[in-house]
Chains A and B, each alone.
Chain A
Amino acid sequence: MTTDVQDEKQALLVFGCPEVPVQAAIGLYLAGRLGEDGYDVLSAGNPSVLGLLRVSDIQKHYIGKTIDLDRCIGELAEKKRDASLCVIFAHNDAGISYAASMRYLLPEARLVVIVFGRNAEELAGGVDFPCEKIVEKAVHNPGKLRKGIDGVFGWRA
């Protein structure tokens, strides 16, 4: 097992396709806030989304460790990796499939699914597994989504 398994406050952020602009902004925000809360944050995604996040965070203030999404799924399935908190970004059916998979692969973790984009409400109807949901039709403006996240994580002023 990797050393990550032994870290009790390991947060895993699972990013979807980067085509919806708010995802990168909210991802940076979430990674920063969770880091302030003492989480060791690992970001998983495809090369494009990880590239966007890294370019936006040149001094690595927010995005620390990253991992290819397929590799991450493999390590979770092989019990080489664990997390106490998992946050999934979902703006399409694939995102919901990844969230359902994470629920199965991390049965003990706190699971938060952020459903966003133009079809957020319809997509959220497909989330029928135990988790906390944040649903917002956000595409370009991250304000309302951030408020929902602040509420779920207790960051509201």
Chain B
Amino acid sequence: MACIDELDPEVLLRGASFAECRALTEKRCREVYYVDPGYAIFDTHIIGVPPIAVGVEEDAFIVLPYTKPCYGTFLIRVPGGEEIERLRRKGRRRP
């Protein structure tokens, strides 16, 4: 399983609040799913205030919040691979 750090993530927001990450995901992604804290994408369990918005772009990328204790929350975009189909199955379409 790939590590998110190894996927060369594109940083869309840096040092953002959780509300800012959710708002931008909902604004820029036509396909948005909502998951709960602990939901795993690749080997990373997502942290945040539920429900957490995760987007799919161009049928190929996942947009998700990524929190590290020392660096705060980033909104990142990574190649989605098989995680896109899993997100479509497990995520909710409404908050």
Contact = CB atoms under 8 A, between A and B. Distances in A.
Interface string B45-59: 101111000000000
Contact of A46 (B17, B39, B40, B70): B70
The prevalent SS among residues of B at the interface is loop
Interface residues of B, number: 21
B72 A92 contact: yes
Interface in A63-90: 69-70, 73-74, 76-77
Interface residues of A, number: 27
A93 B17 contact: yes
From B40, B68, B69, residue with most partner A Cβ within 10 Å: B69
A100 interface: yes
B45 A77 contact: yes
A88 B73 CA distance: 17
Given A17-B70, A97-B67, 6 more contacts: A70-B44, A94-B47, A94-B73, A100-B18, A104-B38, A105-B37
Interface of B: 15, 17-18, 36-40, 44-45, 47-50, 67-73
Interface of A: 15-17, 19, 45-46, 48-49, 69-70, 73-74, 76-77, 92-98, 100-101, 104-105, 126, 129
9 contacts: A73-B38, A74-B38, A94-B67, A96-B49, A97-B67, A100-B49, A101-B49, A101-B50, A104-B36
